[in-house]
Structure 1
Amino acid sequence: MKEKRIFDAITDVRDDLIEEAKSSRMNKSRPLWQKVAILAACVVLVVAGILLVPGLTKEDSKIGPLLDVVYPEVYAFDDYETRMAIRDQNPVDDAFIAAVNDFSYRTATLLLSDDGHNKSYSPLSLYYALALAASGAREDTAAELLDVLGVPDNETLMQQCGNLYRLLYHENNIGKLKIANSIWLDHDYRGQPVSFKDAFVKQAAEHFYASSHPVDFAQAETGKQIAAWIAEQTQGTLNPEIETDPEQILAIINTIYFYDQWVDRFAKKDTSEAVFHLVDGSEVKTDFMNQTFSSAGFSRGPNFTRAGLTLKNAAQMVFVLPDQGVSPYDLLASPDLTRLAIEGGDGYNGEVIWKIPKFSFSSVFDLKDTLVSLGVEKAFQQDADFSGITDHIAFISRIRQETHIAIDENGVEASAYTKIDYAGAAQPQGRAEMILDRPFIFAVIGQNGNLLFVGACENPTQ
């Protein structure tokens, strides 16, 4: 049997394309939700490998999706009855949520290192991509992947991933969270057919909502097809130029697209220019959003103050401000410290003064070394066992994640949904000044407590 790579990145997303995407979001021809989204983020993870759809010919590869998916039911952001029904129908074990969060903190600690750049990482995107790969792994290869994912077996992993997906998925006039997966299949490798497990593609569609597309990676047109799919899933946030490789036989692409609105919007008239202090002691001027809540929750812990802002679809964005003289990376130095900064500390209620810089930036992560350091070794070796995908020798060669995140004042007026307005709550216990005029940590947390995105902002003007 010939050795073939199973997971390898297709391409990079160029900075000029990201800049073009950012400017295009302001195009007035865009739908209303793209004009008012206060937080937009996307993640693309591209991998390549071996897969074959039996019976296909080169002519077959010109048709549409081999296996498409039907996404979960959508509902209005204030439709609590439907939301609760979906929750009841898709139970997610506390142990699984704990496993996902443990994975999130372990990987975030390794990836959010101090290198002088802004960073945004989506642990949930990486988790789903690895889970999809793990569903086709066997023996020691599967054991290592399941261990880092924190689940006992593939059946549990697939069932819980499917249930969590349906809980998180939403799309309405206020916001959207969509995890999209796709498998791009080339059944021919140097003129030789590649065997393929039909069960893998079917379970990928059922549990991961992964569509499957027959393609020819020797043709440049395939790159255009993949790029168009990415642009569609991310609402044009990314428009990458994909270069295909005739040595490539499978691509698995994972995207996460998220946008939402603050429950309590920031008034644009209150936005003003001020100084942001950089790590090296220099200063930059940037626009800060300003708002004060007379009674709201906040937390204090060793060397930090943390407070959060609620989003209309039940997510929350939290900001962690290190004490003067403390680096964000001191708070991210270990999984336990990272968890403490984002979840822990002593809770208080009192006046919270917000001063948040508007920011918009992109990040790129090569993830192989991170995963190897966490014990995922077999999957990257030539004796890896991915026999749940193919009977050919196959192994992972590279995994890459790219993200973009942006926040601003925009949103709609407060609705009946939970507001960050605690009038009538417990008596104030002090004051938190969330004056984010120096490097800080942020995290977007889903309704189940999952870390959707986590990062550090060192310079909001970059």
Structure 2
Amino acid sequence: MTPKTTTLISLLLLIFSTACKKSPVKPIVGKDLVLTATEQQKVAADNAFTLKLFKATFSGTPDNQNLFISPLSVSMAIGMTSNGSNGQTLTAIRNTMNFNGFTEDQVNSYYHTLITELPQLDPKATVKIANSIWYANTFTPLPAFLQTNTTNYNAKIAGVDFKSAATKDLINSWVNDQTNGKITKIVDQIPSNAVMYLINAIYFKSTWKDRFDAAKTKKADFHLSTGGIVQADFMNNDLNCNVSIASDATAIELPYGNGKYSMVLVSPKEGTSVKDYVAGLDSAKWKILMAGLGSSHAIISLPKFKFSYEIILNDILSSLGMANAFSDFADFTRISATGLKITEVKHKAYVDVNEDGTEAAAVTSVSVGLTSAAPFSYAFNRPFVFAIREMKTGLVLFAGVVNDPTLSGN
């Protein structure tokens, strides 16, 4: 090697070294979710609905079964549907879903923000949120309804042949794609009175910020609510994490990826069943528990688990105040002037928690169908009360009772 060559190589190394010092590679940490004051209030309202739906669902869950739902998925699917409701049906939906206190535009804009922003928060987390509306090509939804859901929910709109067996396969293929194959179908068969499906799909996958060492996973006892004991695979880790200790429970928060998402694990105090704890859980208690989270050093032992869950939410949503939407008196005139009602709200979810992290998916399908063809019928064939009133103010001008319509005097 000549002196000239040596000098050239040294110069190149110096330039490269200097460039590296001036332009250090910064780790990609993602972005923060920035919400307006109104949107932050909507988060609180959504969390309140989460507890309401979670408690109502869990109260009917047997002690030997697991539970896993995505209330956010339910909220988005019902949110799209509510854009086609009116009158008492709209009021019932808004009260049940905790939309009251917000304008319809605020609700739609909030979900649009989540759909847009949540997938971008952490490059180490995969978050997908997708919506779709499938309607019978013999049925004509109002354009304004479809446009509202396209604009705010990025909904895929498709008019298809509901009488074709291939249509359910088409819908299920979309569900399968949006959940990365974790939920393969949501529609078993299309009922003859169905005219529309409104579907939300949410998918999440991320590694733990501090992964569990698979070599440390050991079999250990897990005590069942029924009093029995099973052997489970327990993951073990020694790490810094957030811990909150309340009088009735201990909460531990395990972050994912770059710390934009986390899993919160809550264990009721010994002697309190999880069913009793959930029954007494409300927004205030949850806020106190979350506010108490503080950094701590902890040794965690957590069982691995993977399961699927499925539920029809008609009865639960009805009990929470939405019964009108499932009845023949439902008002969905902002979808169509045709008599419509919600015929089924189906929810499916999947979760896999292991040493690497968590994978989860959920799908909510709202099936809208025709109301009964027969008109409402009632015979006033026994004594009844009647009144004459001014409709706008409700002022009653006359009131009476008919005991015998054949009488012409008193």
Return the TM-score normalized by structure 2: 0.74
Give me the whole-angstrom Cα distance separating, in 1, the residues matched to 2:353 and 2:284: 22
1:356 Cα offset (Å): 0.5
- 1:227 pairs with 154, 165, 172, which one? 172
Extract unaligned runs of 5+ from structure 1: 1-75, 189-193, 413-443, 445-451, 454-462
**CA shift in 2, pair 1:211/1:77, >3 Å:** farther
1:263 Cα offset (Å): 0.5
1:346 Cα offset (Å): 4.4
Give me the whole-angstrom Cα distance separating, in 1, the residues matched to 2:44 and 2:137: 39
1:375 is matched with 321
Matched, 1:162 2:162: no
1:254-293 to 2 correspondence within 5 Å? 254-293=200-239
Give me the whole-angstrom Cα distance separating, in 2, the residues matched to 1:199 and 1:91: 28
**CA shift in 2, pair 1:243/1:381, >3 Å:** closer
Aligned partner of residue 96 in structure 1, secondary structure: helix
1:214 is matched with 159
- 1:87 pairs with 29, 34, 38, which one? 34
Higher alpha-carbon Rg = 2
1:176 is matched with 126
* The structure with more helix, counted as a fraction of residues: 2
Tell me whether 164-173 or 231-240 shows the greater mean CA deviation.
164-173
| Contact 1:105–1:339 (CA under 8 A) maintained in structure 2 | no
Give me the whole-angstrom Cα distance separating, in 2, the residues matched to 1:362 and 1:283: 22
Aligned partner of residue 332 in structure 1, secondary structure: helix
Extract unaligned runs of 5+ from structure 2: 1-25, 364-410
1:292 Cα offset (Å): 1.3
Paired residue type of 1:328 = V
Matched, 1:245 2:191: yes
**CA shift in 2, pair 1:133/1:77, >3 Å:** farther
- 1:148 pairs with 85, 89, 96, which one? 96
- 1:119 pairs with 63, 67, 79, which one? 67
Give me the whole-angstrom Cα distance separating, in 2, the residues matched to 1:347 and 1:159: 30
**CA shift in 2, pair 1:387/1:376, >3 Å:** same
| Identity fraction in percent | 27
Paired residue type of 1:93 = E
Paired residue type of 2:230 = V
1:286-325 to 2 correspondence within 5 Å? 286-293=232-239, 295-312=240-257, 314-325=260-271
1:368-391 Cα offsets, whole Å, 9 max, x none, are 222122221221121211111111
1:97 is matched with 43
| Contact 1:305–1:323 (CA under 8 A) maintained in structure 2 | yes
1:93 Cα offset (Å): 2.1
Aligned partner of residue 279 in structure 2, secondary structure: coil
**CA shift in 2, pair 1:246/1:77, >3 Å:** farther
Give me the whole-angstrom Cα distance separating, in 1, the residues matched to 2:353 and 2:337: 46
Give me the whole-angstrom Cα distance separating, in 1, the residues matched to 2:278 and 2:130: 29
1:171 Cα offset (Å): 8.7
1:350 Cα offset (Å): 3.6
1:130 is matched with 78
Give me the whole-angstrom Cα distance separating, in 1, the residues matched to 2:113 and 2:123: 24
1:167 Cα offset (Å): 2.1
1:8-19 to 2 correspondence within 5 Å? none
Aligned partner of residue 356 in structure 2, secondary structure: coil
Give me the whole-angstrom Cα distance separating, in 2, the residues matched to 1:208 and 1:91: 21
Aligned partner of residue 322 in structure 2, secondary structure: coil
Give me the whole-angstrom Cα distance separating, in 1, the residues matched to 2:281 and 2:270: 22
1:411 Cα offset (Å): 5.5
1:88-120 Cα offsets, whole Å, 9 max, x none, are 7x8762221111111111111111225120110
Number of matched pairs: 330
Return the TM-score normalized by structure 1: 0.66
Aligned partner of residue 226 in structure 2, secondary structure: coil
Give me the whole-angstrom Cα distance separating, in 1, the residues matched to 2:248 and 2:256: 26
Give me the whole-angstrom Cα distance separating, in 1, the residues matched to 2:62 and 2:52: 19
Give me the whole-angstrom Cα distance separating, in 1, the residues matched to 2:283 and 2:247: 10
Give me the whole-angstrom Cα distance separating, in 1, the residues matched to 2:265 and 2:78: 28
| Contact 1:170–1:178 (CA under 8 A) maintained in structure 2 | no
1:105-153 Cα offsets, whole Å, 9 max, x none, are 1111111225120110111011111111111111221112122233333
Matched, 1:359 2:305: yes
Give me the whole-angstrom Cα distance separating, in 1, the residues matched to 2:280 and 2:317: 16
Matched, 1:202 2:150: no
Paired residue type of 2:105 = E
Give me the whole-angstrom Cα distance separating, in 2, the residues matched to 1:246 and 1:130: 22
1:247 Cα offset (Å): 3.0
